[in-house]
Structure 1
Amino acid sequence: MEEPLSQDRRNFLKKIAAGTVSATVLLVYKQYANAEDAADPVSAAISGSAGATGDKQPDWAYVIQVDKCIGSGDCVRACSAENDVPSGMFRTWVERFIKTDEGIYVDSPNGGIEGFPEVDDEIAAAATEAWYVPKMCNHCHEPPCVPVCPVGATFQSPEGFVLVDHEHCIGCAYCVQGCPYSARFINSEKKVADKCDWCYHRFKRGEQPACVEACPTKARLFGDLNDPESEISKVLHEQEWMVLKPDKKTEAYCFYVGLPEEVV
């Protein structure tokens, strides 16, 4: 396992991003308790429906706090080790965005698994803002990958996780093409579709996903939206958030806090 970023590298990105990340967020969704906002999944989960009684079923979701990510790669390494991901393939990865007056510089060397090298002097001098943005399967509640699978190997679990049945997958890659987030791949060793499953095997044991547990800054959160005391519920209730590619209408359940418009 490679060592994380040096402090100098972390400081570099912090300096050029300081105070600017949350200033340019578009397509922002906020929390409302009104019935007219029932289409908002987080608001609906937190507020419930009129006349609802008894205990609510858990509504599992994932949050990425962009302003807390330092690009250490701990999450990617933890995921790869936990899920035996082949070298060069990633269930989760981290991208670095560096904004300049000339445009956006984006890189993700080896998925960010070894951290990020310093950029060249020209880009560093021109940088005005910068972010590390983790990516993964969004576990959509309207997943376009599910209906295109010809054998039903891609499906949603009762808890809302989007999973792949490796015993029945035929490796046709229809789901890979159907995912708008580029979150799927054909496992080079198993020859079947692969992707993040929020560490479903750990979830069934009452544990957090490996990436969440490994994150040194709590940039990644996983929990129950229907639990008002959960950290994820509080964060989404109190802060502005958005999802990637909202125009796809997938009802993505990976919510981003502090995500700039350039990343959408």
Structure 2
Amino acid sequence: MDIERFKGKVALITGGASGIGAATARRIADEGGTVVICDRYGSAAAELADELGGTAFQLDVTDLERTVEVVSGLERVDVLVSAAGVDVCDTVPNTTPDEWRTILDVDLTGVYNSCRAVLPRFVVQGGGAIVTISSAIGTVGERNRSAYCAAKAGVENLTRAMALDHGPDGVRANCVAPGLIDTPLIRNGKVSGADDPGAMQAMVDRHHALGRIGQPSEVAAAIAFLASDDASFITGAILPVDAGWTAQ
């Protein structure tokens, strides 16, 4: 890629070994950035980091102490992409307390932990960019996804709050809200009906005006824009990358 929007910059990406996180690591590296790939699957993170000339850490984002330790050990960090996430598909009565806690711990508290670790660095250095990952159903809701909807809605408002709190410090915080994207979460059938091609196409037809599933690289392009200086006057935004889902 000819453009080098991230030349001289370091981007820390949680959930960076697969899916949207991995696509974002590739995009930022292609644009000249140095990537720090954090994932609970340390070997997969290391493999991708070796390919991209970056650094890898095994990291469970629910562990605040370890997250702070990783960030503290970096010489610099300019961008945080908080992409780690899990999903459970069910209603409130059918979602166990353990499942509820797991979704909230990873998808919402994990974002808080990552941001809590980097924000003091960003404030001291006079700036930085945070991009969080929500979902179309963090904005509009969906059947049988109660815990995930709640967590992702929380991510959106947490992002807005950070934008307001830390704009005076030169920190920008934005969020992307993808629709159905071809990631391991989808391919492994974690979304209800995802293991049935007919059911998945019906979901796409119902929600996506463009009539197809999205690719991780398409979300990564939006993340790279928000993390770059091209978005220097954008903060507190929730950017739909959802083929028109939330336009309905």
Q: TM-score range by the shorter chain?
A: under 0.3
- Highest CA radius of gyration, 1 or 2? 1
Task: Provide the TM-score with structure 2 as the length reference.
Answer: 0.27
Task: Provide the TM-score with structure 1 as the length reference.
Answer: 0.26
